Amino acid sequence: MSTAYSDLPVVQYEGPQSTNPLAYRWYDANRVVLGKTLAEHLRPAVCYWHNFCWKGEDVFGLGATAHQRNWFAETDAVAAAKLKLDAAFDFFGKLGLPWWCFHDRDVAPEGATLAESNRILDGLLEAAAKKMQDQKIGLLWGTANLFSNPRFMSGAATNPDPEVFAYAAAQVKHVLEWTNRLGGQNYVLWGGREGYETLLNTDLKRELAQYGRFLSAVVEHKHKIGFKGTILIEPKPQEPTKHQYDYDSATVYGFLKTYGLENEVKVNLEVNHATLAGHSFEHEVATACALGIFGSIDANRGDEQLGWDTDQFPNNHAALVPAMLEIIRAGGFTTGGTNFDAKVRRQSIDPTDQLEGHIGGMDTMARAFLSAAALYESGQLEKAVGDRYAGWDGDLGKKIHGGASLDDLASIVHAQGISPVARSGRQERLENIVNAFV
């Protein structure tokens, strides 16, 4: 069957010298670095929602005709979903990337009841399973859309109406089971409306308890069905709510600790969400790694002149090197990977634009990883950090961690005449070292 992407070539690696806009210049999937191929390190995925569900509309009246695709013109919702599925897997094949990601409502339209919605989704995911097998494409993660329908206006798990909570739980149950059936590596929960618009009508303590119970139930069902993947939460500080409970990595960790889930749930970190929270992406990655909850990433970028989530393709490899270095230091991905949660710009209306966006994004991530790997192998930053904290491996550091009291430490200071002198952090030198590798 012909699709919107049928005339596009299969993207090949041609090397940095290539001038072909439809070839990879840095992403050589089979290149071995640090003992694994780039494909194994990065585990790249294509998302369903931005590529095949977004019509190019905006809030100022630019309608659904901006991006012309045959499934948008089809009036029968199920027939349109089938056209979209064919096109999606055609597009995946052109890129040659090993993974994809979806929400249930990306793949299938909603029915009059949840039972009907599930039946429609079942038929389409049965077809997707066959395509995955034929094309040898895996599922990086699945998730349920608990934010688009008006029933979720006041949240899903945190809704003041327990019927909404129950409906959301039933929806997640079905998608988690499908994620398991499709061999999904992870299941993601994005709490886009798990938060509040105003505290004037919000019982914050009650809502957090509801959210804790919801997540606990998801974890319980994961074990019941034998899902071996990872449950992930995707932090974001606001949009669409004023304040979302999954604000950032540290906030999520505190929430998980409160409900005893810190060993069950990890985070899926998005570049643009980190910057909206007032953090750098590397800060979010380093925090998650330090707390033991790092799972996966959404690769994109924001616009420094716009204060919202623009979901643009990453195009600055140098900016991503510090985050890639943190991932390497932590041992790399396990079940997670690099999902391109990014969309072309509204005026980029051709299918070729989608292909080129992913090519550029993939090359950016690969180049960032290669730079970070070379920097890591050089050992220069690792030595500098090791030297800076060397004293903690000595007698005094061991005594402190061994339980020395304030009295003990005061006695040591007086007995040894300790009078510390400030030492340079050498930031400029270290920044120059990083720049030498990018």
Q: Could you count the other beta carbons within 10 Å of the beta carbon of residue 112?
A: 7
- CA–CA gap between residue 99 and residue 340 (Å, rounded): 10
Query: Is 197 a known ligand-binding residue?
Result: no
Long-range contacts, 61-64 (Cβ 8 Å, 24+): 62/346
Which of 41, 50, 103, 279 is the catalytic position?
103
Q: Do 289 and 329 meet the contact criterion of CB atoms below 8 Å apart? A: yes
Query: Is 341 a known ligand-binding residue?
Result: yes
For 131-186, give the secondary structure using H, E and C.
HHHHHCCEEEEEECCCCCCHHHCCCCCCCCCHHHHHHHHHHHHHHHHHHHHCCCCE
- CA–CA gap between residue 311 and residue 302 (Å, rounded): 6
CA distances to 12, 242, 248, 278 from 272, in Å? 28, 17, 12, 10
Query: Is 309 a known ligand-binding residue?
Result: yes
CA distances to 53, 55, 102, 114, 147 from 111, in Å? 17, 21, 18, 7, 16
For 29-73, give the secondary structure using H, E and C.
CCCEECCEEHHHHHCEEEECHHHHCCCCCCCCCCCCCCCCCHHHH
358 carries an active-site annotation = no
Task: Provide the 3-class DSSP secondary structure of residue 405.
Answer: coil
Task: Provide the 3-class DSSP secondary structure of residue 306.
Answer: coil
CA distances to 255, 388, 404 from 335, in Å? 22, 33, 40
Q: Do 324 and 335 meet the contact criterion of CB atoms below 8 Å apart? A: no
- CA–CA gap between residue 232 and residue 249 (Å, rounded): 11
- Pairing assessment for the beta strands 44-47 and 99-103 based on DSSP bridges: parallel
105: CB partners within 8 A, 6+ apart: 145, 148
Query: Is 273 a known ligand-binding residue?
Result: yes
Query: Is 407 a known ligand-binding residue?
Result: no
- CA–CA gap between residue 297 and residue 45 (Å, rounded): 10
Helix (H) or strand (E) holding 195: strand 195-196
Query: Is 264 a known ligand-binding residue?
Result: no
Which of 106, 246, 248, 363 is the catalytic position?
106
414 carries an active-site annotation = no
DSSP 248: S
Q: What angle do CA 117, 98, 37 make, to 5 degrees?
A: 155
Query: Is 220 a known ligand-binding residue?
Result: no
Annotated catalytic sites, by residue? Answer: 103, 106
Which residues belong to the annotated binding site for Mg(2+)?
234, 270, 273, 298, 309, 311, 341
Give the annotated binding-site residues: 234, 270, 273, 298, 309, 311, 341
